[in-house]
Structure 1
Amino acid sequence: MTKLIAEIAVEKTALHFDKIYDYIIPENLLESAQIGCRVIVPFGNSPRRQGIIVSIFEETEAKKGLKRIKELLDSEPVLSKEMLAMAKFMKERYYCTFYEACAAMLPAGLGMKLTYAYTYTQDGAEAENLSADESMLINFLIARKKPVRHDILLKNMGFSDDSLLIKLCKKGYILKKEVIKKRFLEPTVKMVRICEGADIPERLSPKQSEVVSLLQTAGECSVKELNYFLGVTSAVSDGLVKKGICEYFEEEAPKYIPSVESKPKQQPVIFLTDEQQKAYDDLLERQNSGKASVSLLYGITGSGKTSVFMKLIDNAVDVNNGNVIVMVPEISLTPQLLNKFTTRYGDRVAIFHSGLPIGKRLEEWKRVKNGEAKIAVGTRSAIFAPFDKISLIVMDEEQEYTYKSSATPRFHARELAKFRCAENNCLLLLSSATPSVESFYFANEGRYGLQVLKTRYGTAQLPEVITADMNIEQEQGNMSAYSSKLLEAIEENLKNQKQSIILLNRRGHNTFVSCRSCKEVISCPNCSISLTYHSVNHRLMCHYCGYSIPVPKKCPACGSEKLRFGGTGTQRAEEELSEIFPNARVLRLDTDSTMQRFAYEKKLAQFANGEYDILLGTQMVAKGLDFPNVTLVGVINADQMLYGGDFRSYERAFSLLTQVVGRSGRGNFEGKAIIQTYAPENPIIALAKSQNYDKFYNSEIKLRKAMIYPPFSDIGVVAFVGTNRNLVEKSAQHFSELLKEKLANEYKGMPLVILGPAPALVSKISNKYRYRLILKFRNNKAFRSLLSSLLCELGADRNYSEVTVYADINPENIM
């Protein structure tokens, strides 16, 4: 008898035994089971695992021992054949499991969780000699009539564990069954406050006393903020809750849901300059060709690149009734772009980024899948928008590192965009004022199209850029973070009621604390990194693991009281600025000042409305922002961007400096930018000052070629992480030996450069040691087969079961 067999990708499989597994489709699911639907299947010792159907075929005689699908989770496919093909592409190139690739494409609100529910039996209803708790529980189940989920039952009964449930199940009084719980909870913030009428004892631990004192003053605060300001862990507040002094409660997290016009306003006509029109005509020809292609729109800051790709979107949506994906590198840039899109296209726009509430994310995903939205705008996750057919993909600021995922699967959105364009025979448009070296190389080689915008739009001109030599400033006795040139420019801007942006890419107050006697720098015990002083909470903090301590009075190493605070962070820069200009309204934007959800968007809106005079922050203030009243940009300590130890350090520094300088003079007023440096002769500083990307590229590409770096090779990092330093090092050495052995035998002649293994630049994070092997290679099928086999072989070796091993191809940082 013919049977239908489903090939299924199953969750929670290790890489070394990840494959597509066969399952029999039972008769009751023959008509409803489809490719792309999620299912529940037995797997190994687990009776229930989620999976997704990859293909279906007929088998006249099914293999012996094949298991059956237990349950179908979807009435229609959640992934199309195109998306399943992309999952296969991701598995092969990013060394993840098939299911991990599929899961990355689905919105969080669509997830399912297996849990348990309980219901009473007839024996339970008639049981005698029950304890008070047992009677109460059974009566509760009888009253509810329907099965009650495990977590809800424990919460309502006030039970701390499920021992009573287990006991009653064994007696046959209640039944336990598995159920599927939808992961559809809106985000909340965990808050803490003192219980009303609480009797606070005199004897509390010092940390508990600090928490109580703060809550008596503030009333309530989030656990996250409590831990930050007092440097405590959640264990302290947990202890106060157990004693009945404090209580936790959930507060709905602030929601950022951009307003979307149900009907678009009358579309303003986009007027293009001759230069823009030439670029648009060339791109339109590519767009209408019906062939897959990639093109780079390279234009200086303020040249009107957005206007060009907006007209292309008009053609795709209004003329050809097509679908469009538009990606931006950061959530913070989404609101500005969204305002343009929603005004122009109304509810045909869907929003994709992790900052949205889970329910909203699911709703937007469904709107795209059901054909209600034609344009998906968002961060890298927008590349997974479930369009059946795509007419255009736009990648704004294509050089940004945030398009690369740092977690499994470690994909780059640009590579997936190329895949989807090839599948849909459409145009991928990359847009940037400072393109990645690889993209500009491919454009010059003819692999990509190239359109260039050399002048700013309208009357706007590039700002005057001045270099401030901080060596001279210190010789003249100026030891502050600000040069005299920058202070004079800020003062003039304040008088003229113009706004300024100051970039300092270091948060905290001081970047390190050292001892003048023994020269020891106070470091994190969990990470191989120095602690940063934060003046807001008066603590030394680790920016990797969150460890913090009060500022010590003596050196922990030698006991000397001669401690020195060095380096300048945004908190100190803000403090100095407020002292020099007491009447200036200063807005600081960094990770610490934007802890609350959507604080960044709100603060940027306040700056745009003129509520602040000076915007001071880390790199989040440098990119994509368009404020017509900003006529001054200052860069503090430009040098620290240049020496990151990575081959992309110069590229990142040039891009960041060029981008932040480009924030000045974008309106009808002349702009100025001042770059502070101790190395004014550095060529990157000089090139950023002149905004000369072409000269930078010509210099950088020669260096890349000489060192065999991308685009002249691919580069990858094989990382080894674990708590046992010797075992981590041993696993890295063993992997390296296996690699060399394979290169000498079955992969003989493969061009491959091996560097290491060696400790990572930050060799320990959160008490986990990190080693890495750097590879330079050609990313072809043979190399992928080699690396995959090595990862599987080491993953299956029980000697290294405590070591996590992963590969990251073309990462943003190899150190």
Structure 2
Amino acid sequence: GFTQVLLHGVTGSGKTEVYLQAIAPVLQRGQSALVLVPEIGLTPQLTDRFRARFGSSVCVYHSALSEGERYDTWRNLLSGTPQIVIGTRSAVFAPLPNLGLVVLDEEHDSSFKQDQPAPCYHARTVARWRAELEDCPIVLGSATPSLESWLAVKGSEEPCQNSEFRIQNSKFLSLPTRIQARPMPPIELVDMRQELRAGNSSMFSRPLRSALEALKEKGQQGILFIHRRGHSTFVSCRSCGDVVVCPHCDVSLTYHHTHAEATPLLRCHYCNYVRSLPKTCPSCDSTYFKYFGSGTQRVVQELEQQFPDLRVMRFDSDTTRAKGAHRSLLTQFAHGDADLLVGTQMLTKGIDLPQVTLVGILAADGLLHLSDYRASERTFQTLTQVAGRCGRGDEPGQVILQTYSPEHPVIQAVQRQQYEAFVDAELQQRASLNYPPYGQLILLRFSSPNAIAVQKAADRVAQSLAALQADGVEVLGPAPAPILRVARRFRWHLLLKLPPNCTAALPEVSELRSLCPSLVSLTMDVDPLNLA
């Protein structure tokens, strides 16, 4: 029967083994199982583990498959034979005639949400609906569950009575310790302000430098996490101060320079516009440029200069574009072809590398101070997940977290590895402000190549929704999007904030679209994870 199970297990506690043992009787009954993962990069490791247990009854479905592979997989699923489908969010629609179990691994991950193209949906919500329709259990697994799942399954006491947010037929299961009682890695906070006062202006603190030097001597491996790819966040002229920006978007171009012989490029991470680095400033003809910020490429270059004995491998969306690149890079690293893996948030998502004993987090503050009400939750989840990549084997792990805000409550909660204390404090804030998971947000996104038309359309829709305020709905905006122009389209936002148990009659999307001219597009996103 339908049951929603939240499996809260610390990193390395054996959640995958729980999935495997839960799926075995499902197959024996002649039913199929659906396993959803947030990233394609997770599928090779997970697939290998499942195939070692269940053989050829495991198939994979995600967007990186060719059209032919996707067609063959789709036909195979329709056959109705008992099988296990491992896939990303689109696999939630896989045609399994006799579904007996749904599993969402790393259920907290924002990759499960689709915000473009329309329709906007969250795979977790759709998976729960599907489990209800199929009358089968759904298991949500994570070391850092989303606040929505936590409240739906557990609820909490003061200051709010949350029983109305609890989902019927829900269960909470906990794995509070690692397998074989292995210790959680201690997290050492390094105050980078103190490092600068001590004369260290490098991106590597003294404790991290010592740990990296010891890595080669001990024959161990490590991971360095930074939340940006590329070399530098932006390029500025040192003479006039002009920043090189994208001609199609209101953002600076990111400097990419993979190695010494490569051509330096500037790339837009929103529309993928690429140009070569100009020899002189377009505004004043100066030849002096300054590179600000750091990304994975710059970290790799600094490592090669300061630690020439370390073999370094980069793991981000630039190095994993080719088909099979995720599996190839992780296999090479697992076989000892590199001492250090430098990567972005792709590193945080369920990768199991028992030989990793060191995790270095270079810039925790970049995540913490984003203009998003979910910034604290995302920071806690990301830092806890990446810290959990080490110490999963026989050797104990060590985490060095570099920050300019060591006293921040989120950083303190990460260091103490206290998920429940963090959740209680965060839920109190959300409840007082009517933010999800208590209230509900609906984001209306308007875009058009015409700046005047999109603003007028947003104003008309806002006026038509003004009557909702009598039912307690807050209509916020319209306002320009945080990044006004992307890919030559101007963007405006209108945000509806609904109180808990709101009974207001919302208009149909078609009604709102009728207020917009043909050159203005409108999409509606319920409980958006991205407000940019």
2:395 maps to which residue?
669
Per the alignment, in what secondary structure is the counterpart of residue 471 of structure 2?
coil
Matched, 1:439 2:165: no
What is the CA deviation profile of residues 459-479 of structure 1, one whole-angstrom value per residue up to 9, with x for unaligned ones? 421001111111122222222
Per the alignment, in what secondary structure is the counterpart of residue 531 of structure 2?
coil
Change in 2 beyond 3 A, CA 1:784/1:601: farther
Between the aligned partners of 2:257 and 2:70, the Cα distance in structure 1 is 37
Matched, 1:460 2:182: yes
Q: Is the 8 A contact 1:648 1:813 kept in 2?
A: no
Matched, 1:305 2:26: no
The correspondence for 1:328, drawn from 32, 37, 45, is 37
Q: Is the 8 A contact 1:350 1:373 kept in 2?
A: no
1:535 maps to which residue?
257
Between the aligned partners of 2:501 and 2:413, the Cα distance in structure 1 is 36
Between the aligned partners of 1:459 and 1:482, the Cα distance in structure 2 is 32
2:24 maps to which residue?
314
Matched, 1:731 2:457: yes
1:718 maps to which residue?
444
Change in 2 beyond 3 A, CA 1:806/1:782: farther
The correspondence for 2:102, drawn from 373, 376, 393, is 393
The correspondence for 1:356, drawn from 48, 65, 74, is 65
TM-score with structure 1 length normalisation? Answer: 0.61
| Superposition pairs of residues 96-111 of structure 1, within 5 angstroms | none
| Superposition pairs of residues 588-627 of structure 1, within 5 angstroms | 588-627=314-353
Change in 2 beyond 3 A, CA 1:784/1:312: farther
Per the alignment, in what secondary structure is the counterpart of residue 794 of structure 1?
coil
Q: Is the 8 A contact 1:687 1:696 kept in 2?
A: yes
| Superposition pairs of residues 451-530 of structure 1, within 5 angstroms | 451-530=173-252
Aligned-residue offset at 1:489: 0.5
Between the aligned partners of 1:416 and 1:530, the Cα distance in structure 2 is 36
Between the aligned partners of 1:571 and 1:357, the Cα distance in structure 2 is 30
Between the aligned partners of 2:488 and 2:81, the Cα distance in structure 1 is 49
Matched, 1:775 2:496: yes
Aligned-residue offset at 1:582: 1.1
The one-letter code of the counterpart of 2:519 is E
The gaps in structure 1 that reach 5 residues or longer are 1-289
Matched, 1:639 2:365: yes
The one-letter code of the counterpart of 2:118 is T
Between the aligned partners of 2:382 and 2:499, the Cα distance in structure 1 is 29
2:76 maps to which residue?
367
2:111 maps to which residue?
402
Aligned-residue offset at 1:778: 6.2
User: Could you list the runs of 4 or more consecutive aligned residues of structure 1 that deviate by over 4 angstroms after TM superposition?
Assistant: 558-562, 778-785
Q: Is the 8 A contact 1:326 1:394 kept in 2?
A: yes
The one-letter code of the counterpart of 1:550 is S
What is the CA deviation profile of residues 325-374 of structure 1, one whole-angstrom value per residue up to 9, with x for unaligned ones? 11111111011111121121122222111112221211122112112342
Query: Which deviates more from structure 2 when the two are superposed, residues 692-701 or residues 467-476?
Result: 467-476
Between the aligned partners of 2:320 and 2:46, the Cα distance in structure 1 is 21
| Superposition pairs of residues 568-587 of structure 1, within 5 angstroms | 568-587=294-313
1:758 maps to which residue?
479
Matched, 1:808 2:525: yes
Greater relative contact order, per chain length (Cα 8 Å cut-off, separation 6+): 2
Between the aligned partners of 1:789 and 1:775, the Cα distance in structure 2 is 17
Q: Is the 8 A contact 2:33 2:85 kept in 1?
A: yes
Change in 2 beyond 3 A, CA 1:504/1:346: same
Q: Is the 8 A contact 2:30 2:82 kept in 1?
A: no
Aligned-residue offset at 1:729: 0.8
2:435 maps to which residue?
709
Q: State the structure with more CA Rg.
A: 1
2:88 maps to which residue?
379
What is the CA deviation profile of residues 205-233 of structure 1, one whole-angstrom value per residue up to 9, with x for unaligned ones? xxxxxxxxxxxxxxxxxxxxxxxxxxxxx
Between the aligned partners of 1:770 and 1:684, the Cα distance in structure 2 is 32
Per the alignment, in what secondary structure is the counterpart of residue 179 of structure 2?
coil
Per the alignment, in what secondary structure is the counterpart of residue 196 of structure 2?
helix
What is the CA deviation profile of residues 10-29 of structure 1, one whole-angstrom value per residue up to 9, with x for unaligned ones? xxxxxxxxxxxxxxxxxxxx
Between the aligned partners of 1:451 and 1:530, the Cα distance in structure 2 is 46
Q: Is the 8 A contact 1:460 1:669 kept in 2?
A: no
2:53 maps to which residue?
344
Change in 2 beyond 3 A, CA 1:507/1:662: same
Q: Is the 8 A contact 1:418 1:428 kept in 2?
A: yes
Q: Is the 8 A contact 2:27 2:82 kept in 1?
A: no
TM-score with structure 2 length normalisation? Answer: 0.93
Between the aligned partners of 1:337 and 1:488, the Cα distance in structure 2 is 34
Per the alignment, in what secondary structure is the counterpart of residue 651 of structure 1?
helix
Q: Is the 8 A contact 2:31 2:82 kept in 1?
A: no
Q: Is the 8 A contact 1:514 1:564 kept in 2?
A: yes
